[in-house]
């Protein structure tokens, strides 16, 4: 089918670059990937994947903490930092993602 409509949109440049890097490895141009996405929306009658908020462990969910609990966590984190009890952020996030 011939493509005859232009779609202009703004996206986060870093997100776009990461997606382009992956699509390049797959040999799929961005325009084809977006066309595939739009076709899937039409085929399934909605977004073709689950759209949910990430699950946050209660131990770090500031939305359910009172001010005292938040202050205690911040003070503990600062004390850990001061004493050198730290870890690489990329490794910590990777570990967290595997746990959910």
Write down the pLDDT at residue 49. Answer: 92
Write down the pLDDT at residue 30. Answer: 95
The domain ranges of the chain are: 1-51, 58-99
Write down the pLDDT at residue 11. Answer: 95
77: closest CA among 60, 90, 97?
60
CATH architecture of 1-51: Orthogonal Bundle (1.10)
Averaged pLDDT, groups of 10, the chain, 100 residues long: 84 94 96 95 95 82 90 93 91 83
User: How far apart (Å, rounded) are the C-alpha atoms in residues 72 and 69?
Assistant: 5
């Amino acid at each position: 089918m011939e493509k005859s409509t232009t779609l202009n949109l703004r996206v986060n440049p870093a997100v776009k670059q990461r997606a382009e890097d992956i699509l390049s490895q797959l040999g799929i141009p961005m325009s084809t990937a977006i066309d595939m996405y739009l076709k899937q929306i039409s085929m399934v009658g909605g977004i073709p994947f689950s759209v949910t908020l990430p699950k946050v462990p209660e131990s770090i969910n500031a939305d359910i903490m009172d001010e005292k609990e938040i202050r205690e966590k911040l003070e503990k984190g600062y004390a850990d930092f001061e004493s050198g009890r730290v870890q690489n952020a990329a490794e910590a996030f990777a570990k967290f993602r595997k746990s959910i």
